[in-house]
Amino acid sequence: MDPVALEQLIAAALHARQRAYAPYSHFAVGAAVLTDDGRIFSGANIENASYPLTICAERVALFCAHMAAAGPVVALAVVTPTPTVASPCGACRQVIFELAPQAQIVLLNHDGSERRLTTPQELLPFGFGPDQLTR
């Protein structure tokens, strides 16, 4: 991935983290996706007093890109409030596996100083996708 595009993506994820609504967990997460047409879509986790209605930052960013009819997702950055990198939850791994199957994923700690590159297949080995559905 182009280093300049990567830094722009990371900056968008760090900025998105500031928009998180996490009054219950205090675990503010930011995410940003880069599509093949060069657009960046960001998202933050948004909690709800009815906990199951909470949505994660990764899904917000991916859903925004999808709704904008953007090109395929080529990269995803996820920033957590942790001193070391943390991985997306299971639900997000499933959505990433389907909506960004070829994306490069960079996981970052709270200030972006620690990074780990991964893939959807590494996050969700033997993932369930459209190919498993019978028609």
Q: Binding site membership for substrate: which residues?
A: 45-51
Place of tokens 């675990």: 27
17, two tokens: 């983290």
- Angle of helix 90-99 relative to helix 57-67, nearest 10 degrees? 20
In this structure, the number of other CB atoms found within 10 A of the CB of residue 46 comes to: 16
Tell me the binding residues: 45-51, 56, 89, 92
**Annotated catalytic residue 58:** yes
Environment class of 128 (CB within 10 Å of its CB; exposed 0-12, middle 13-18, buried 19+): exposed
List the one residue out of 15, 21, 103, 22 whose CA is nearest residue 66: 103
List the one residue out of 63, 66, 29 whose CA is nearest residue 46: 29
Q: One of 7, 58, 98, 114 is an active-site residue; which one?
A: 58
Contact 29, 78 (CB under 8 A): yes
Tell me the binding residues for Zn(2+): 56, 89, 92
The residues annotated as belonging to the active site are 58
